[in-house]
Structure 1
Amino acid sequence: MLHQITVILILITITTTVTSKSTIEPCSTTDTCTSLLGYTLYTDLKVSELASLFQIDPYNLLAINSIDMTSSPDVTSHILPSQLYVKIPVICSCVDGIRKAVNTHYKTRPSDTLSGIADSVYGGLVSSDQIREVNDVEEGGVLDVGMDLKVPLPCTCFNGTDNNLPAVYLSYVVRDVDTLAGIAARYNTTVTDVMTVNSLGNAAIEDGDILAVPLSACASNFPKYASDNGLSVPNGGYAITAGHCVECSCTPGSRLYCQPASLSVSCSSMQCKGSNLMLGNVTVQQSSAGCNVTSCGYGGFVNGTIITTLSSSLQPRCPGPQQVPPLTPPPTVVSPELGFAPAPSPFQLGGAPIGGLPGSVVPSTSSGIAFPPSANGPSGSVSGACTLANPLSTFSLAMALVLFVKVMIPFL
């Protein structure tokens, strides 16, 4: 009898184990956006090798992380150290009604396993089951060397907004040392905002969870026929566009500032018509009425041509020089600032402990995969977002409890 009770208790423990979850954004359009992945290098990799791992432009990889692209003649051959934490820019698409990044492929090597590819190579951004399903790999099947595997990666768009302000979303894999307050502080957002975006009923997060973290950004207003229409750049980083000819950043005041890129490439004219100003140039002239400001701005990349726009305005005071994010040389070692560092607890931040945050918005409780508040973007308020729990686990738990009660009744 004691043996039966022990088995049932073990069953209950197994069925109530919390599994990692990922924020899912339902979608019904063909629109795409640029999204980011938080990734820690599993081994030393050249910039070009890391870019190839995710099938992205190596210069975009350097730009989004504010790494100086002119630091060496062949910066793409620079070796980045293991455990370096970087942001990976990916195209977020709508696939089968859910946002995913689906452009990444992986060619298998000897001794590869699906779990190794998922957990080690891609740092937990994808599960072995997800890779197996999308590639129709049999359970327990051996991977042939040279197999071309699709790797579905998590991403969200939410119309490029957060609380009605421009934002780019980062998919962040939670580590066992993380706190929600620490993650929010690291990315200059709030606990309430992260909870709302991810439909969290409380501040509890688990190792392996994938959170959508909104990063403040500067959005463009290029015409729809421009190839870089919808360009949005998160604070602290750059975006390379116009065939590597133009680099854009987010300056204080959430203003998108674009200038000629530092790469040596052949580019179309970047001079504003009707003036001697080049792209990114600003002239100021103080007068008794204020400050006359004339600037040469970027208007998008259309049919291989860089569109420039000349604008003039009278402002109360003359602006200072553009404050662009500082560039750093390619890292050779992992420092606490560049590598993965445990997100600080609220006590380390000098704030209040989680659970008693004043004015926090607490969405409905979720015990499984959470759907965010709205496919049209988080608004900062609680919505009737639905959540998905694992129905099999729920059923198993109910059956275990019934069996437990039946066994125990004769002894009560």
Structure 2
Amino acid sequence: MAAAGARSPPHPVPLLLPFCLLLLAALCPAARAARFACNATAPRASTCQALISYAPPNGTATATLAAVRALFQLRSHRALLAANGLPLSTPPTAPAPTPMRVRLPCLCSGGAGATFQRPTYRVRAGDTLDAIARGAFAGLVTYQDIAAANNVSDPNKVAVGQQLWIPVPCSCDPVGGQPVVHFTYVVPAGSSVAGIAQEFGSTEENILAVNKMPDAKGLLAGQVLDVPLRACGSAISNTAIDRNLLVPNGSYILTANNCVMCGCSSSTWQLDCQPTQGLSSSFCPAAKCGDMFLGNTSSTSSCESRTCSYAGYTNSTSFAILANITTSNVCNAGMSPMAQPAHSSAFRLEPSWFRWTELVVSLHVVLLCVGYLRQD
């Protein structure tokens, strides 16, 4: 028995707890918020249409096209089909492909870009900001992003029914002096910079530059990456309402009040626009170049062809669809959009013994801390 007045040894819990917390923080770093540079200052360049990659979590209600449209508050089902290159006959109840492309307006402000006003999310019982960020929006944002955008002082306290703006990072900046469509992409495990560049018709150099990555080895699984997608050139007039129309390969856009469908040609890198099928001719005025209708092509030689190309639409006095003749050289069109070579400097995110070691050490630290905390 201890002598009267003797001081008992300090309880190990107060001494060990700070060590446990520090070690766990070092082994399990918090997700970092992505910040996409957005400094575009040209007329109307402070806003643009960006693409977001979204992979619906398995077994959730967001597994259909209708559910994805509702989650991101898209104005039309057709817009979702267009962004993913799906036929216009695809029903809303169809399963959502994984990942999906979602086209949203992007706003540049203070040197960074975020989706404008959309999407929003209404808090449900049991929700936390982290669950909303990781679950509902599949890691496109962090809970810190949501808290900062909505002036939430305590991320652990959100009210049921509260409406939250989800600020998905995006950009409107040109790359290499050329307009591009910025694609917000959550990196899957096993990816490489070169593989992502090849998949989306970009280049490793551009991806590293826009994400301010010193080399390809810095790529992390779950990282929110800015992938600049090359956009097709067009014959759209500078006075047309849709003069800033940008379409990357693998998708199309409905424009001119949905009367015209424009895709990105994989052979000429020019917009390939056709009248949208199934719409009333009384609503959509005909677009012609002399005797040729919009989208018609004729050959002038074995290499050259003439096309009645889309030139935009106007609505100043009346709704009109513009078109003019363009000539293209099909023998010197250059690379297909998807034909980007892989680079040997790629670093693949394969599972490694070190990551497993981190997991095992973390588990032991947790068990050790719990054991001490349960002591009297």
Pair 1:183-2:201 in alignment:
no
Post-superposition CA distance 1:56-108 (Å, at most 9, x none): 2321211121101125xxx2x22325x72111111111234421112312223
Q: CA deviation at 1:119?
A: 0.9
Map of 2:80 onto structure 1: 61
Post-superposition CA distance 1:135-156 (Å, at most 9, x none): 22341223223x3221111101
Q: Secondary structure at the match of 1:181?
A: helix
Map of 1:47 onto structure 2: 65
Which of 280, 288, 298 is the equivalent residue of 1:283? 298
Structure 2 matches for 1:12-411, cutoff 5 A?
14=25, 17=29, 19-27=31-39, 29=41, 31-42=46-57, 43-45=60-62, 46-56=64-74, 57-71=76-90, 75=91, 77-81=92-96, 84-104=98-118, 105-139=120-154, 140-145=156-161, 147-159=162-174, 162-202=175-215, 203-220=217-234, 222-251=236-265, 252-265=267-280, 267-272=283-288, 275-285=290-300, 293-303=305-315, 305-311=319-325, 352=344, 354=346
Q: Secondary structure at the match of 2:232?
A: strand
Q: CA deviation at 1:166?
A: 4.1
Post-superposition CA distance 1:344-363 (Å, at most 9, x none): xxxxx9863547xxxxxxxx
| CA distance in 1: counterparts of 2:307 and 2:186, whole angstroms | 41
Greater relative CO, 1 or 2 (CA 8 Å, sep 6+): 1
Post-superposition CA distance 1:230-249 (Å, at most 9, x none): 10110121111111111111
Q: CA deviation at 1:126?
A: 1.3
Q: CA deviation at 1:124?
A: 0.9
Give the partner amino acid of 2:101. Answer: K
Q: CA deviation at 1:40?
A: 0.3
User: In the alignment, is the contact (CA less than 8 A) between 2:295 and 2:308 conserved in 1?
Assistant: yes
Post-superposition CA distance 1:175-216 (Å, at most 9, x none): 333332332232233333311221112322223321111212
| CA distance in 2: counterparts of 1:141 and 1:20, whole angstroms | 21
User: In the alignment, is the contact (CA less than 8 A) between 2:273 and 2:295 conserved in 1?
Assistant: yes
Give the partner amino acid of 1:182. Answer: G
Q: Is there any run of 5+ residues in structure 2 with no aligned partner, and where? A: 1-11, 348-376
Q: TM-score normalised to the size of structure 1?
A: 0.66
| CA distance in 2: counterparts of 1:318 and 1:278, whole angstroms | 24
Give the partner amino acid of 2:285. Answer: S
Give the partner amino acid of 2:262. Answer: C
Q: Secondary structure at the match of 1:194?
A: helix
Map of 2:9 onto structure 1: none
Q: Secondary structure at the match of 2:124?
A: coil
| CA distance in 1: counterparts of 2:331 and 2:200, whole angstroms | 31
User: In the alignment, is the contact (CA less than 8 A) between 1:227 and 1:300 conserved in 2?
Assistant: yes
Q: CA deviation at 1:41?
A: 1.4
User: In the alignment, is the contact (CA less than 8 A) between 2:34 and 2:141 conserved in 1?
Assistant: no
Higher strand share: 1
| CA distance in 2: counterparts of 1:168 and 1:244, whole angstroms | 20
Distance 1:217 1:99, change over 3 A: same
Q: CA deviation at 1:226?
A: 2.6
Q: CA deviation at 1:123?
A: 0.9
Map of 2:369 onto structure 1: none
Give the partner amino acid of 1:20. Answer: R
User: In the alignment, is the contact (CA less than 8 A) between 1:245 and 1:263 conserved in 2?
Assistant: no
Distance 1:158 1:351, change over 3 A: closer
Q: Secondary structure at the match of 2:247?
A: strand
Max Rg structure: 2
Cα RMSD (Å): 3.5
Distance 1:12 1:144, change over 3 A: closer
Q: TM-score normalised to the size of structure 2?
A: 0.72
Q: Secondary structure at the match of 1:192?
A: helix
User: In the alignment, is the contact (CA less than 8 A) between 1:292 and 1:312 conserved in 2?
Assistant: no
User: In the alignment, is the contact (CA less than 8 A) between 2:306 and 2:326 conserved in 1?
Assistant: yes
Q: Secondary structure at the match of 1:153?
A: coil
| CA distance in 2: counterparts of 1:37 and 1:192, whole angstroms | 21
- The count of aligned residue pairs is 316
Percent identity of the aligned residues?
27
Give the partner amino acid of 2:49. Answer: T
User: In the alignment, is the contact (CA less than 8 A) between 1:298 and 1:306 conserved in 2?
Assistant: no
Distance 1:107 1:271, change over 3 A: same
Distance 1:235 1:317, change over 3 A: closer
User: In the alignment, is the contact (CA less than 8 A) between 2:208 and 2:214 conserved in 1?
Assistant: yes
Q: Is there any run of 5+ residues in structure 1 with no aligned partner, and where? A: 326-348, 356-412
Q: CA deviation at 1:267?
A: 3.1
Distance 1:354 1:283, change over 3 A: closer
